[in-house]
Every structure is written in C-alpha cells, then in structure tokens.
Chain A
Amino acid sequence: MIKPSRLIRNHALLLSAALATAGFSGSALAEELRLITWGGYAPDDVVAQFEEETGIDVQVTLSNNEDMISKLRATGGAGFDLAQPSQDRIVGVQRQFNIYKPIDFSRVNTDQLQSSMVKATQDSTELDGKYYGVPSVWGTSGLIVHNDVADTVTDYTDLCDAGVEGQVSYRLKRPTLIGFAFAMGMDPFAAYSDRDAYQDIMTKVESKLIDCKSNVKTYWTGGDQLLSLLRTGEVKAAMAWDAGGWKLNAENPDIGFVAPESGALGWIDTFAIPRRSENEEAAYKWINFVMQPEIAARITNASGNFTASKGADEFVKADLRDAYRDSFNDAAISNIKWYPPVPPGLETMEGQVLDRVQAAN
C-alpha cells in the first residue's frame, strides 16, 4: 500500500512534469499558425495535409463574427495569426478598434481566385486606400423549409403566418433584422448611410418581430441546435444558412433551402490578418494553400459553402451541386442581396432593437 504522503508527492511530480512539457512544447515547435475561423472552414484532413507539406503546426479555434472581433479587440489584435471575419464586418471594426493589418496582395496568389469576388471584397474592406480582406468562403442566409409548409413560407415575413404558429425559428441577430426589412418592402442597405432612415426601418422591424414572437418556438443560437430542431420536425420553417439546408436535404429530401422572394442575403467570409499576427508568412501560405481548387472543394464538401477559388466547383460533391441548383435559379442568384460594410454605430442601434424584442412579452 502506498502511503498517502508518498502518493501526493508522486502526483506533484507528475503534475510538474506535465507542466514542464506543456511549457516546452509551446516554445519547442518553431512554426505555428494560430487560425481563428468558422466550423468547417479548416477540416482535419486539410489541416493535416498543410502540416505535412509545410511543417507548420496549425492551431484552429472555432468562432463566429462577434466572437472573433471580441477576442481580437481584447488583445489589440494579438493571439491569432489569421482570422476569417465576414467582409461587411471589417472596415467599421478596423476603424473603431484597429485590430487588423492591411493585406499584401502581392503575397496572395490571386490567379486562383475569382476576380469579381476579389474586387468586391477589396471594395468593401478598403480603409484609407488599403485593403483588409481576401475572399474565402461565401454563402447566403434564407429559409430552410419543410415541404409541408413550403406553400405558406416563401419569404421571411411568412414565418409570422398563423399557419405555422409554434413551428418556426430564427436568430435574434442582425441578419434577421435585415431580412425582415427587405421582406417588408424596405431597403435597409440603402439606408446604411442615413441613421434616421435606418432607425425608422428598425423601429418597424422591431414591432413586426415583437408581434411575431408568439409564433416562434425558440430563437436558435447555434447551428447544431437549429439542425436538430428541424431534423426532429419540431420546427418546420426557419431563417438560416444555405449550407444547413443542404445538409438536411441530404438526410431528408422533404427539407430544403429556399431563396426568399425578397432575396437571399449574401455574405463573403474573408481572410484577414490580425494586427499583431506573429506569423504572417504562415498566414499567407495557408491562404494560398486552401484556395487551390481541389483543397477549396474539400472545404466546400465539409462546410457546405462554396469558395472564392476558381475552378473548385468541378471537384465538389455532385449532390451538393444539385442542391445548390435546386435552391438558386438564375433569377434567385441575381436577387441575392450582398451585405455592404456596416458603418460604425448601426450595430448599437440594432442591438437595442434585438434586446427589446428579446425582453418583450
């Protein structure tokens, strides 16, 4: 039998040994890329191949727009070497918190990117003549609808229809405000530069969302939560991302992604380099690596969203391509409303609207 004091000493030894190795492993590996990104954007096999080819160790942190900005803001742009915020959330944030550094496009292999998307992203991430984003993955928000209610729900505001009471879900976040505004016949993007007009739109959306609250089963907060609500049939219609709809479509053909009549909301997630990135070289290597057509297609297959890589489509799984075509005909594609950069201050306004909706009874 081991005496207790001995046991404790052994444990203490083990612990200090573990601490020592943990301390060493941080400094021993010379090259490391700390990537903060969305779920599915850095699949394990892609990371493994990158590590094998370059010898750079990749640390992936999964996140979302707000979380990314908050984390980088807390450290003044340190802690990560590469981030993937959406293109509309860069300029305003950069102006307020100065957390990114400009992209050196001479180090990006733009030949393998779709030039129209590079141009669009440059335009929307420009600040003082410098560009802050490289396009990576794009997608849309729209409606995921079960066939049972497909005739009722064709636009965002149809989620408030009495016929689907207690069977709908959406997020309490800004895309919902924007989507409802479009479906109510207003153009929030045009009002971005006019605070009073925007406030006016938000006030109308607020009262609509408060009226609609009794129709909602729950406000979803995470992708997996929403998918399980739809999978079990507890929710029949929801405002959500296209990729989620296509994923469910593969499991159950009765559920599909629909581009709403007033237009799906299009976003582009970018690569942006935090201001105090410690390994820019590796960051550019990663950008050029994952935007190769075959690798990019693997990201599409994993996340469900298409990339800015040129020629990647032919490597994408056939059923995903079919699902995409089912959801988007040419008219629906040209009707996509792409998010323009959010001016600083608007999000505070939206925040108060969302808080009031959340607190309303």
Chain B
Amino acid sequence: MKSSVSRLSLWLLLTPFLLWIVLLVLLPHLQMLRVSFQVRESWDTIAWGVEQYQNFFTESYYWRTFVRTGVMSLFTTFLTLLIAFPIAWYIARLARGRSKGILFLACLIPFWASELVRTYGWMILLRESGLFSSWLQALGWADGPVEMLYNDVAVIVGLVYNGLLFMVVPLVTTLDGMDENLVEAGYDLGGGHGTVLREIVVPWAMPGIVSGCIVVFMLTLGSYLTPILMGGKDSAWFTEQIFTQFITRFNWEQGAALGVLLLVLSSVIVWLGLKISGQSLRKVMG
C-alpha cells in the first residue's frame, strides 16, 4: 500500500519533467531528424534521401565553418578554464565571510543583463570610435583610431565573458569541499607548487572542471549573437548557417540536416572529453 502511494507520487512529480522532455525536446528533435532526410523535388512533392548530408560534405564552406566553430569553441572553453580557475580558487579558498559573497555576486551580476546587452557592451568598448580606442589615443599609444572589433579575437573575448560564470560556479563548488590538509600534506612531502597543483588540486577538482567545460562548450558552440555581432565579415559560425538556411533561404531541409550534424558533433566532443579525462557523466553531473 505504502509503496504504491510513493510510486504514484514519484510519477506525479516526474510528470512535468517528462512532459517537458518529450514534448519540447524529444519530439522536435525527431521531427528535425525526419525533415533532414526529406528532399524537396518541387514545391509540393517530397522524396526521402540524404542529399542534404551530401551537400554538407561536397560544399566546402559548410564543413569548413563546422570545423572552425568546433575548434574555436574548444579553444574558448580552454581559455575560460584558465581564467576561471584562479578566480574560483580565490573565492573558494582565500576569500572569507562577507567578501566571499560579494565576489560571487560580482561574477553573477553581469548575467542579470541579457546576452545581447552584454555583447553590445563589448562592442561599445572595442569599436573604432569606442572607449579603448580613444583611451589608447589619449595616452599617446596609438596615432589613429584602432579597430578591435570584427575579428576572431573579439569573438573569443565575448564568448569567454559569456561562459565565465558557468565555469566559476562548478569550480567553486568542488574546490570548496577540498580539505586544506591535503594541500599541506602535499607540500610537507616535498612537492612544489606545480606538483601540488597537478597531483592534488586538479584531480580533486576534475568533476567541477569537466562539468564546467561541458556547459561552457555547449553554450559556446550554440551561441549565435556574439559571433554575429562581434565577428563581422569573417564571423562564419555554424549556428548562423543553420539560421540562414531556415530563415533567409527557406530551406528547412538543409537547416535541419545542419542542426542534426551540430547535435552529433557536440555529443561526440563531450563524449570524447569524458573519455579522455576519465570521468563519467553520472559523476560529473551528480
């Protein structure tokens, strides 16, 4: 009797989640998969085929953008980790009491504004008639206006900024739980800074590092606004091509195929990342 009640309540609790997953995640993706295998013969007849996937491999600009997006996202994730680790270390281990809360809040506050606003903020700073450029000129370090926007560096700056919080949070959580004695023991046994970091801190923080990396990588790979607005003419980003196929070219079939490929790419890279770092998804997300 009791077990059937608890089972019922479990199902009731699960229902919203299941509805969400099935209706809003699973079904649309299956539909997209179906559309990606449709080939439009004329306006009202459709055949099945893999033409869209062939296009992807024969038209070099598709897979070149695809590879570029993947590589730049990996680089962004790595850079975010490098920048976030010292920040997380300071917040988790060195800051005490009030200042800990304030520092954490400082990381959080930029995310009260939307991605669009944050990106425009960077554009105001980096553009030719922007703040940085005019400071450089005022200090006499540059003769004329300096354009810092519309290149890959600007895109990566924007993406790292957008991902930072999602790296800091899991790192702080894992580093928080580390026993200070472990670090001290490492030094007592004759380890230098490098050895302690490599042998004790990083292995301990690995679940946090991996989960942070997964989130940041997914966010970066799927971001749209930042590469478009800050990248300018060379901004080619894979999400942009998907958007273009759906919205400006009315070619849903091609767009769906590209979407499926992006999903596969991100899943494969995350799986590889987990394999290489020796983590399991359960451990990382638990």
**A-to-B contact residues, CB < 8 Å:** 66-67, 69-70, 73, 93, 95-97, 166, 173, 213, 216-219, 221, 232-234, 344, 347-348, 351-352, 355-356, 358-361
Contacts and interface: CB of A to CB of B under 8 A. Distances in A.
Nearest to A170: B233
Contact of B232 (A70, A96, A217, A352): A217
A264 B151 CA distance: 32
Contact of A355 (B61, B228, B233): B61
A359 B64 contact: yes
Contacts of B64: 359
Contact of B43 (A66, A97, A218): A97
Contacts, number: 65
A96 B233 contact: no
Contacts of B250: 66, 69-70, 73, 93, 96-97, 347
Given A232-B127, A234-B127, A351-B249, 8 more contacts: A67-B247, A95-B43, A97-B43, A216-B233, A344-B43, A348-B251, A351-B251, A355-B62
Contacts of B60: 359
B241 interface: yes
A361 B248 contact: no
Interface residues of B, number: 27
A359 B43 contact: no
Contacts of B184: none
Given A70-B250, A73-B250, A347-B250, A361 B234 contact: yes
B261 to A, nearest CB: 15
A352 B245 CA distance: 10
B128 A232 contact: yes
Contact of B236 (A69, A93, A166, A359): A359
Interface of B: 43, 59-62, 64-65, 127-129, 145, 147, 149-150, 228, 232-234, 236, 241, 244, 246-251
A213 B228 CA distance: 16
7 contacts: A234-B128, A351-B248, A355-B61, A355-B241, A355-B244, A359-B65, A360-B61
A232 B247 contact: no
A173 B249 contact: no
